[in-house]
Amino acid sequence: MSENDTTSPAGAAEQAAATAGRIRSEIGKALVGQADVLEQVLIGLFAAGHVLIEGVPGLGKTLLVRALARTFDGRFQRIQFTPDLMPNDVTGHVMFDMNSNQFRVRRGPVFTNLLLADEINRAPAKTQAALLEVMQEQQVTLEGKGMPVPLPFMVLATQNPIEQEGTYPLPEAQLDRFLLKILIGYPSEAHERELVRCVTGGQVGDSLDVSAIETLVKPGAVREIQAVAAGLRVDEKVNEYAVNIARATRDWPGITLGAGPRGGIALIRCARSAALLAGRDFVIPDDVKAVALPALRHRIQLSPELELEGQTPDQVLEGLLERVEAPRT
């Protein structure tokens, strides 16, 4: 069988990588800069996970989700989380129809492919928890009946790291449901100049247009890419390396709460997606190392002493990664 035959694992991976590359390039038509953020969001999508994006307003989070949904003809919904948002506003509810004299299900915005949960930490815990079942089980239970959401399904939640007044920090159990925590920062000077030029170049309003983005695939094709990514080869030594990193967080100086078993699982899932985006049908230790910060930064808790010193989870994890030996063969 030829290596390029799409029925072979190598051929399927090559075809999936080519499609993923086209999606990345197409989104780049609308998203100026933020290449690392785009890469990590695609890693989350192809690993069939959910991502938490942290950054100040106005950095293109909504634009990224809209552009991503457009590339694969997916459905997109946005929920603006506020203190008065109720769980039924997220999942939907059962209502009585006077005309038909029957109960009808009113589906909430979670019944979509891409759900942008904007400023998720502004809603109370009971509303945040309404997302837990659908994120984990990919279904919503209404009146005792499980209703599946469309696949692929991905939650992209955002939170503002600056304004903490009137917010409800996500509990560890919910943070652990997110495959990745992505930090989005200000664009470089060159990218910001390009952004200003694009937005003010003869168009009305202050947002970038996604109409130029071409729809490349159907949602089913994204699920096929996810299946290919899940089947990429992982050597036992690479698997052991991911587990060693996760376990090292549990007794590392300055970390009071380390990553649970989901940490090692997240490393391998994300490393497979990273390998696919790199055009390989096998995972290397560098793939694991490349995804370690977004996969683990929200799964650890620093000691009060380190927080007072201004240390960040990323700084501690970078030191840990330097000490955990990677397989060389």
Judge whether 244 and 285 are in contact, CB under 8 Å: no
Q: Let me know whether 268 and 304 are in one domain.
A: yes
pLDDT of residue 146 exceeding 90, the answer is: no
| 239/224 same-domain check | no
Contact 208, 63 (CB under 8 A): yes
Average pLDDT of span 72-97: 88
- Domain C-terminal end among 196, 230, 264: 230
pLDDT in tens, 87-133: 999 999 877 777 777 777 888 999 999 999 999 988 888 888 888 87
Question: What is residue 208's predicted lDDT score, i.e. its pLDDT?
Answer: 57
End residue of a domain, out of 206, 230, 254: 230
**Residue 205: what pLDDT?**
47
Residues 6+ apart with CB under 8 A from 298: 52, 175, 176, 178, 181, 313
Q: Pick the more confident residue, 10 or 309.
A: 309
Token pair 């299900």 is at which residue?
105
Looking at the structure of the chain, the number of domains it has is 2
Handedness of CA 294, 228, 285, 253 (dihedral sign): positive
Cis peptide before 161 (omega within 30 of 0): no
Domain identity same for 222 and 237: no
Closest to 123 (Cα-Cα) out of 69, 159, 72, 77: 159
Mean pLDDT of all residues belonging to the chain:
88
The answer to whether the CB of 46 falls within 8 A of the CB of 277 is yes
The residue among 215, 211, 221, 233 whose CA lies nearest residue 280 is: 233
**Angstrom distance (rounded) from CA 68 to CA 71:** 5
Last residue of a domain, one of 230, 261, 285: 230
Question: Are 193 and 248 found together in one domain?
Answer: no
Residues 168 and 42 reside in one and the same domain? yes
The verdict on 179 and 267 lying in the same domain is: no
- pLDDT at residue 209 is higher than 70: no
CA distance 297 to 299: 6
Residue 2 binned pLDDT confidence (cut-offs 50, 70, 90): very low
Which pLDDT value is given to residue 1? 35
- Torsion angle in degrees (nearest 10) through CA of 266, 268, 270, 275: 180
Which range is most confident: 31-35, 144-148, 153-157? 153-157
In the chain, what percentage of residues exceed pLDDT 70?
Answer: 93
More confident residue, 156 or 3: 156
Local confidence band at 7 (pLDDT 50, 70, 90 cut-offs)? low
pLDDT at 252: 95
Q: What is the 3-state secondary structure (H, E, C) of the chain?
A: CCCCCCCCHHHHHHHHHHHHHHHHHHHCCCCCCCHHHHHHHHHHHHCCCCEEEECCCCCCHHHHHHHHHHHCCCCEEEEECCCCCCHHHHHEEEEEECCCCEEEEEECCCCCCEEEEECHHHCCHHHHHHHHHHHHHCEEEECCEEEECCCCCEEEEEECCCCCCCCCCCCHHHHCCCCEEEECCCCCHHHHHHHHHHHCCCCCCCCCCCCCCCCCCCHHHHHHHHHHHHCCECCHHHHHHHHHHHHHCCCCCCEEECCCHHHHHHHHHHHHHHHHHCCCCECCHHHHHHHHHHHHCCCCEECHHHHHCCCCHHHHHHHHHHHCCCCCC
What does the block give as tokens for 315?
């700084």
Q: Is the same domain home to 188 and 322?
A: no
- Assess whether 70 and 138 both reside in one domain: yes
* pLDDT at residue 250, as a whole number: 96
Residues 6+ apart with CB under 8 A from 56: 160, 161, 162
Residue 261 belongs to domain with CATH number: 1.10.8.80
State the Cα–Cα distance between residues 264 and 261, nearest whole angstrom.
Answer: 6
84 and 221 within one domain: yes
pLDDT, residue 62, reads: 82
Cβ partners under 8 Å of residue 103, min gap 6: 94, 95, 96, 97, 143
Asked whether residue 206 falls in the same domain as residue 237, the answer is: no
pLDDT at 318 over 80: yes
What does the pLDDT look like over 21-64, one tens digit per residue? Answer: 999 999 888 887 788 999 999 999 999 999 999 987 777 788 88
User: Which domain does 6 fall in, by range?
Assistant: 1-230
Measure Cα distances from 117 to 52, 135, 322 in Å: 9, 12, 35
Say if residues 84 and 127 touch (Cβ distance below 8 Å). no
88 with 194, same domain? yes
Output the pLDDT for position 163: 65
For the stretch 233-261, pLDDT in tens is 999 999 999 999 999 999 999 999 999 99
Are residues 127 and 254 both part of a single domain?
Answer: no
Q: 159 has which bridge partners?
A: 54
